[in-house]
Chains A and B, each alone.
Chain A
Amino acid sequence: DVKVTQSSRYLVKRTGEKVFLECVQDMDHENMFWYRQDPGLGLRLIYFSYDVKMKEKGDIPEGYSVSREKKERFSLILESASTNQTSMYLCASSPRGNQPQHFGDGTRLSIL
């Protein structure tokens, strides 16, 4: 079974802090994705990566950056957290080609 592990289920941070969300997958997948999920807005893609050290902006990259130094790990960084970044963050991975994405359990992030 595919396993996508997000480092924290719940996280509380303060405005202005630099926040790191970590995601690890154990299936040697090339593609990794970060989404945020908000009521009424569904899943929105923040960034994705199709290879080590490669990254592409999704639909809402502003205020975020990412890092992929190793194939199995994809980090989402909130450079200076703001209250409007309070959300559920979901990481996903997929192999190359037309294959489904598999999701982690999410990190519920609150910015106070």
Chain B
Amino acid sequence: GQQLNQSPQSMFIQEGEDVSMNCTSSSIFNTWLWYKQEPGEGPVLLIALYKAGELTSNGRLTAQFGITRKDSFLNISASIPSDVGIYFCAGRSYPGAGSYQLTFGKGTKLSVIP
């Protein structure tokens, strides 16, 4: 099946630093999604990307849909303590077989040191 490699697995950064994480796929996706999950909560949608090359921002967060359609990047600028959590990427090949389903990365655990 489809596989998503998300990196890094975890990061410790100083408050105020910028953060980058990425996902790469073994196959082409038509949609990339980025979620954040805080301890004890469900994932919350941050950004949705639908076109190759698309660059979308949500406050201090910026995500890009890679030109090859096999990767996506999430950047967080000027990190703050409430950015702590696990960030997941998810991709979908749509339309197509199993097009309702998402393939998830294993997450990047972000820790911010005040």
Chain A residues packing against B (C-beta within 8 Å): 4, 9, 31, 40-43, 45, 48, 50, 56, 58-59, 90, 92, 94, 98, 100-106, 108
Contact = CB atoms under 8 A, between A and B. Distances in A.
Interface of B: 1, 30-31, 33, 35, 40-45, 48, 50, 88, 90, 92, 94-95, 99-102, 104-107
A40 B100 contact: no
Contact of B41 (A43, A50, A100, A106): A106
A42 B105 contact: yes
Nearest to B106: A42
A9 B104 CA distance: 23
A98 B102 contact: no
Given A100-B48, A101-B102, A106-B41, 9 more contacts: A4-B42, A42-B88, A42-B104, A94-B100, A98-B50, A98-B92, A101-B90, A102-B45, A105-B40
Nearest to B35: A103
Given A48-B101, A98-B30, A100-B33, A105 B41 contact: yes
Given A98-B50, A100-B48, A105-B41, A58 B101 contact: yes
Contacts of A56: 100
Given A48-B100, A98-B92, A104 B42 contact: yes
Contacts of A101: 33, 45, 90, 102
20 contacts: A41-B106, A42-B88, A42-B105, A42-B107, A43-B43, A43-B88, A45-B101, A50-B100, A59-B1, A98-B92, A98-B94, A98-B95, A100-B33, A100-B45, A100-B48, A101-B102, A103-B35, A105-B41, A106-B40, A106-B41
A30 B88 CA distance: 24
